[in-house]
Amino acid sequence: MDEVLELENAKMADIRDVLSWAAPRSLYRCHVCITRDEEGVFSATVLNLPGCGSCGDTEQEAIQNVREAVLGVIASHIEAGEDIPWVNSMLSTIPEGARQRWIVVNA
């Protein structure tokens, strides 16, 4: 199973730093926004990959599930011969109280 490398602080991380952590096929750095609804369900949205998100009963489960979603979205675009539609996540609006994480997905 591919590993997800979680980076707490994007300013402290550089994609070159993680190249030695795994034998990558392709590394994708994803900016994830995590929120919790009134019923306690965690949602994880990939801010720099439109339409990609998932949820879980815990924050860790939501991150693991969004990892699977990233793999699926990337595979769909590659199979269709399309470019992956990355966007600048710094232009996203972050909901109040949301947590942000950077994850690196080895796809």
Topology of 4-106 in CATH?
Double Stranded RNA Binding Domain (3.30.160)
Taking the C-alpha atoms of residue 72 and residue 82, their distance in angstroms, rounded to an integer, is: 14
Judge residue 39's burial from the number of C-beta atoms within 10 Å of its C-beta, 0-12 exposed, 13-18 middle, 19 or more buried: exposed
Per-residue model confidence (pLDDT) at position 1 = 39
Q: Name the DSSP letter for residue 94.
A: P
Buried b (16+ CB within 10 A) or exposed e, 1-38: eeebbebeeeeebeeeebeeeeebeeebbbbbbbbbee
Q: What is the pLDDT of residue 3?
A: 46
Residue range 27-81, pLDDT digits in tens: 899 999 999 999 999 999 999 999 999 999 999 999 999 999 999 999 999 999 9
Average pLDDT on 19-28 reads 64
Q: What is the pLDDT of residue 26?
A: 86
Strands, E assignment, the chain: 4-7, 27-36, 42-46, 53-56, 99-106
Residue-wise pLDDT tens digits, 71-90: 999 999 999 999 999 999 99
